[in-house]
Amino acid sequence: MSLIPAHEWGIKSDIVPRLGVRLVQEGNRLHYLADRASITGKFSDAECLKLDIVFPHFIRQMESMLTTGEMNSRHAHCVTLYHNGFTCEADTLGSCGYVYIAIYPTQR
């Protein structure tokens, strides 16, 4: 079984393991579509459980940043968020409708 999916979503990174996602932006709301997500590498069982907790937290943070203008769908600007041992890099890449993210265990 390949550890690299046929198509990688999200922000490109060499960090493994990582979850890459292209979120759909609707105003200040973000929507997750499972067919626009990919995992590169292998998360441990414990990391998978933590990922279930940190993912919604990161979504709320990014929605708040869209509301305040810290993230803007028309201008590329990478932000880095941290929570519970994970790092999330997020950027609209100026795409006017998508937010690209990469989530991975925080490197020490």
Q: What is the pLDDT of residue 6?
A: 59
Which among 60, 39, 57 has a CA at the least distance from the CA of 48? Answer: 39
CB of 58 closer than 8 Å to CB of 101:
yes
Which among 39, 89, 36 has a CA at the least distance from the CA of 62? Answer: 89
Q: 82 falls in which pLDDT band (50, 70, 90)?
A: very high
Question: How much is the pTM?
Answer: 0.90
Report CA torsion sign: 47, 4, 10, 32. negative
All structural domains of the chain, each given as residue ranges with its CATH number in brackets, are 18-105 (3.30.450.20)
Q: 108 falls in which pLDDT band (50, 70, 90)?
A: low
pLDDT in tens, 21-67: 999 999 999 999 999 999 999 999 999 999 999 999 999 999 999 99
Residue 17, pLDDT > 90, answer yes
Secondary structure percentages of the chain, helix, strand, coil, to 5: 25, 35, 40
CA 35 to CA 47: how far, in whole Å?
Answer: 21
Per DSSP, helices labelled H in the chain are 45-68
